[in-house]
Amino acid sequence: MNCDAMISLLDVLAQEYLFLDCKNIDIPTAGKLLNNLESIINESQRNKIYQLSSCATGLSQILEKIILDMIKDKNQAADLLEEGIRLMQQIADSFKNTGKYDGSIQEFLGKLVALTGVAIAGNESSATTGSAEINVPERKEDPFSVQDESLMRDFIAEGLEYIEEIEVNILNLENEPENKEYINTIFRPFHSIKGVASFLNLETIRALAHCLENLLDKARNGEIAVTASLIDVVLDGADALKTLIGQLRDMLEGKKVDESLLDIPALKARVNKIEQGFDTEVGAKKIGEILVDEGIISKEKLAQTLKLNEGSPDKKIGQTLIEEGIVKPKQISQALRKQVDQVTDLTTIRVDTTKLDDLIDMVGELVITQSMIQQDLKNQLNADKQLTRDISQFFRITSTLQQVATTLRMIPIKQTFQRLTRLVRDLAKNAGKSISVELIGEDTEIDRNMVDEIYNPLVHMIRNSVDHGLETPEDRIQLGKSEKGLIQLKAYHRGGNIVIEITDDGKGLDKNKILQKALKNGMIQSEDGLTDSEIYKFIFLPGLSTAEKVTDVSGRGVGMDVVRQAVEKLRGKIEIESTAGFGTTFITRFPLTLAIIDGMIVKVGTESYILPTISIRQALRPSQEAYTNIVGKGEMINAMGHLMPLIRLYEIFKIEPKHREPWDGIVVVVDSESGSKCLLVDKIIGKAEVVVKSLGEGLKNIKGLAGGAILGDGRIGLIIDIEGLFELSEGR
């Protein structure tokens, strides 16, 4: 018997069902499903697969009643549709492989009768609807039914990862209970666990995941509030699922499973109570009390309804009131919203990020105005003393306001670290390595605008640590190390910057290999006088890779140069510390915010420029003897015990300087990832915190410039991009 056409129809049906929302039915989507079900009925009857035909007919009945709004419990209808599609796929697969289906569809047909009131004949001679009574045998649930061991093991690994994802995001939700995105990120793993468990007939796991999924769905739709009780029950549910999945793993390994460790019915009862609004930890009024306060029902009527519900503890009072015709569904909905409003945390509010950015911009304008006032005061010889004191107080307030406004955009780096932890796990699995991850300083805050920007460079460094840095378990054992490698992610604040360190306990960088590769590629002419730090920085140059073989992860000599560019784009710095045989540490420093820069204002001719403080090593007026001109290398200044190239800013920006000789002007030693150089300027004005302004679309990609700022005298100062300036000086 050829069942391929049937299986293909069922696959299309399953895909179309994903777009169906039973609560807000979309008629075109439902129409497609009905047409597909009709094709399945015809095809199954043609192939004499009457069990399949009966199931498809039943699903058509459910869909028609949903469209006509004749089914009250839409969640139950959705569950039954999903179960029916899954059952039909099992039947079709069984007929394709064995030519028959030995299972029973009676239980499913019984559920159809209970939901729709219409019985579907389930014998092998008919697929038409009728009114015959169906005897549904009592189901004895087998918590674990092993079909395919490899699929089971994949589910165990994925299921435990899903639980970890839930645990991370449920804590985020606890901090931001109004954030629907966190609810979605928790909802999806439960949904995935439920789907795979259903496919593998793991009924206990499926039912619990489905129960928790429904709870989160109600929270997502605003029907119930995110409370401490809800957080606790979701965490307990995740723990229970973890235990169930662990029991499944033990069973596959032949170990004895103690099912008495978990009380799943009690956990489901807790979930049901929270769904009904019974939350002892929150002082919100119950639905019945709200209806009484609003004058919709009397206290006597509420007491009568509660008495009716005594025999059905899982039944919601709102549902009973609607069934009895006492209140309308809209009134219950309004009462639910009021209940949610009562438990909303008034200590926090959500603000549109565009409004937040506007606030930061306006604070920046205030700081600029403050600088102008300060400059004007300096120019007045006989300024009023009282006015000076008042303005000093204004400056202090402005400074505090600036700091507070900046912190509003700060978010913990925890989520970025968690994403990197997952990345390490995936890379380690592919590379056949055993790696643990240690997180330090997860609560360290960073500008939210920088989160996405720093993620990619961190990913490249993680990949190199996993692929090049850490050894295989066998090699580590031979070296006397622990079989499992370690990657440590660490974040902290220092000197107005956020510092992120990625450390591995692998083999470290091979200085000789790096040097040989740099010499071979013509990046250097000689290795004389190079420090370890300077040698390690060669790995940031394009095309330099010491990998012995190319992998899917790294080894082509690209990646670390991208890291350097990304870090510098964010006005950051990167350093490397490595010890052969003991590991490597990448240290990246970023400004806490991209909106404000700590810089030194310098003068060249009539123009002012801002050098980022993070890049400055020293400022000096060199002696005439410190200047030299070396053939092939150009002008050099002997500073800090080393000869460094001299960059004349007036030549780069084509302006007339006040001083042309280095010993007449000021030399500022600045760093970038490609080394240190000396900048010749006329004068140092002073240190300042300036608000970064974009130069606009037409000027944003000019090499050597990172933006502009309005200075205290009202003039524009251009912010120097050190790495871009170095490239300009080298003709790149």
pLDDT per residue as tens digits for the range 694-709: 777 667 667 788 788 8
Specify whether the CB–CB gap between 586 and 502 falls below 8 A: yes
Tell me which residue of 649, 670, 669, 635 sits closest to 604, measured CA to CA. Answer: 649
DSSP-assigned letter for residue 213 = H
Percent of the chain at pLDDT exceeding 90: 7
Could you say which DSSP state residue 525 is in? S
**Are 713 and 372 a contacting pair, CB within 8 Å?**
yes
DSSP letter for 506, please: S
Residue with tokens 């009945």: 61
Q: What share of the chain has pLDDT > 70, as a percent? A: 81
pLDDT digits (tens, 9 = 90+) for 280-320: 444 456 677 777 777 788 877 887 877 777 666 556 677 77
Query: DSSP label at 471?
Result: P
Nearest CA among 703, 693, 19, 112 for reference residue 367: 693
Instruction: Reply yes or no on whether the pLDDT at 512 is more than 50.
Output: yes
* Whether pLDDT at 129 is above 60: no
Which of the residue ranges 186-195, 438-447, 583-592, 617-626 would you say has the lowest mean pLDDT?
186-195
Q: Which conformational region is residue 555 in: left (phi greater than 0), alpha (psi within -120 to 50 degrees), or beta?
A: left
Least confident of 87-91, 329-333, 496-500, 511-515: 329-333
Q: Using CA atoms, how far apart are residues 329 and 331, in angstroms rounded to an integer?
A: 5
Residue 514 · residue 535 · CB < 8 Å: yes
Q: Give me the helices (H) in 68-148, please.
A: 74-98, 106-116
Q: What's the token pair of residue 376?
A: 């004007």
Going by C-alpha positions, the residue among 60, 70, 68 that lies closest to residue 127 is 60
Q: What whole-number distance in Å separates Cα of residue 598 and Cα of residue 139?
A: 71
pLDDT value, residue 81: 86
Residue 688 or 658, more confident: 658
pLDDT for position 639: 87
Specify whether the CB–CB gap between 55 and 87 falls below 8 A: yes
> What SS3 state is found at 557?
coil
Report the SS3 class of residue 6: helix
Compute the mean pLDDT over every residue in the chain, rounded to the nearest whole number.
Answer: 77
3-state secondary structure of 439: strand
122, 47 contact by CB (below 8 A) = no
Distance, CA of 26 to CA of 13 (rounded, Å): 15
- Over range 160-186, report the average pLDDT: 79
* Token pair listed for 523: 């990046």
In the predicted model, is pLDDT for residue 201 greater than 50? yes
The secondary structure of the chain in percent helix, strand, coil, rounded to multiples of 5, reads: 50, 15, 30
Q: Can you tell me the distance from the alpha carbon of 526 to that of 520, in angstroms, rounded to the nearest whole number?
A: 11
